Amino acid sequence: MRLSGLEGRVAIVTGAASGIGRAVAHRLAREGVPLALVDVYEAGLKELGKGLAGVAVHTFAVDLTDPNEVADLAKRVPDEVGEVSFLINVAGGPVAPSHQDQLPKLPDRAFPIEEIDDLSWAHVLATNLTTAFLVCRAFVPGMKARRSGRIINFSSIAARRGSDRVGVHYAAAKGGVIGLTKTLALELGPYGITVNAIAPGYINTERIAAVAWGRQAPEQHRALLEAIPLGRLGRPDDIGGIIALLCSDAGGYVSGATIDINGGLYFGP
């Protein structure tokens, strides 16, 4: 489906080198959106860049938890790609990648609170909440100056209903993303900028599939599927299409919303 209001406008997608971010990049490329793709995982970025055709694609290997690197990114993207219309903050996860450890293995079990040390709490909050704050802070001035823009942050079902899978650090960070999103929607509405959050459920990315959501036993996997009204795990493409929708003219009056994409597993306030 082609959507109006997308072609030729620049998007920056963080966390683009794998999983949901990669699917978002592919979906926006199909709409003719020039892309600034950001991730700390350099090999994944290069591979993604080669696989996208028909639009300008620029990749940026950046640790988004570093305020200096984000500030530098905010200078480079307008110069090298163009003024940003769409900011898609996908970067995050239950682990903390860095330039030294770009693609850490995901945990195959949940961590009880007593096993979450101070450093891991700080790292997971930085990876999921501070990154969204830093990138929004860096790119909002340009959007305000042009009095238009779309920002989409990534929360999680872990923040919406709690989770037995990821630990309190991840759930708390993703809850923070919702507060950031709502407040920014109020703050930026007068500038014609919409701000929304996506709260994915169980999306079967390659990395997550490798650890089977910590439900390696067949009966555990079956129970998970039975709990999802649509009877299947989500696909990264299930998210990409909704991102395109929110960036398009169809999303012009949606702001401050947290949109649950979870196959009906949870839809609460």
Active site residues: 170
Nearer to another protein (CB atom), residue 106 or residue 257: 257
- Pick out residues in 163-202 that bind another protein (CB under 8 A): 182, 185-190, 192, 194-195
Among 78, 82, 107, 252, the residue binding another protein under the rule CB under 8 A is 252
Nearer to another protein (CB atom), residue 122 or residue 245: 245
Nearer to another protein (CB atom), residue 24 or residue 70: 24
35-39 vs 57-61, strand pairing mode = parallel
Nearer to another protein (CB atom), residue 105 or residue 235: 235
Among 18, 155, 163, 248, the residue binding another protein under the rule CB under 8 A is 248
Q: Which amino acid appears at position 228 of this protein?
A: I
Q: Measuring CA to CA, which residue among 268, 266, 260 is closest to residue 242?
A: 260
Using CA atoms, how far apart are residues 216 and 213, in angstroms rounded to an integer?
A: 7
Q: Identify whether the C-beta of residue 243 lies closer than 8 Å to the C-beta of residue 147.
A: no
Q: Which among 107-115, 154-162, 163-171, 241-249 is the span making contact with another protein, rule CB under 8 A?
A: 241-249
Nearer to another protein (CB atom), residue 7 or residue 101: 7
Using CA atoms, how far apart are residues 69 and 131, in angstroms rounded to an integer?
A: 11
Using CA atoms, how far apart are residues 129 and 250, in angstroms rounded to an integer?
A: 27
- Tell me how far CA of residue 160 lies from CA of 23, 240, 259, in angstroms: 23, 20, 10
Q: Is 263 in the site for another protein (CB under 8 A)?
A: yes
Q: Is 209 in the site for another protein (CB under 8 A)?
A: no
Q: Which among 8-16, 35-43, 167-175, 247-255 is the span making contact with another protein, rule CB under 8 A?
A: 247-255
Longest dimension (CA), the chain: 54
Q: Is 255 in the site for another protein (CB under 8 A)?
A: yes
Among 3, 6, 28, 173, the residue binding another protein under the rule CB under 8 A is 3
Among 8, 67, 162, 264, the residue binding another protein under the rule CB under 8 A is 264
Q: Encoding tokens for residue 20?
A: 């949901």
Using CA atoms, how far apart are residues 154 and 202, in angstroms rounded to an integer?
A: 14
Q: Which among 56-64, 67-75, 101-109, 238-246 is the span making contact with another protein, rule CB under 8 A?
A: 238-246
Residue 264 three-state SS? coil
In angstroms, give the least distance from the CB of 249 to another protein: 6
Using CA atoms, how far apart are residues 173 and 107, in angstroms rounded to an integer?
A: 17
Q: Identify whether the C-beta of residue 97 lies closer than 8 Å to the C-beta of residue 127.
A: yes
In angstroms, give the least distance from the CB of 155 to another protein: 13
Using CA atoms, how far apart are residues 22 and 78, in angstroms rounded to an integer?
A: 21
Total binding residues toward another protein, as defined by CB under 8 A = 43
C-alpha angle 122-37-245 in degrees, rounded to nearest 5: 95
Positions in the binding site for another protein (CB under 8 A): 1, 3-4, 182, 185-190, 192, 194-195, 229-230, 234-235, 237-238, 240-242, 244-245, 248-264, 267, 269
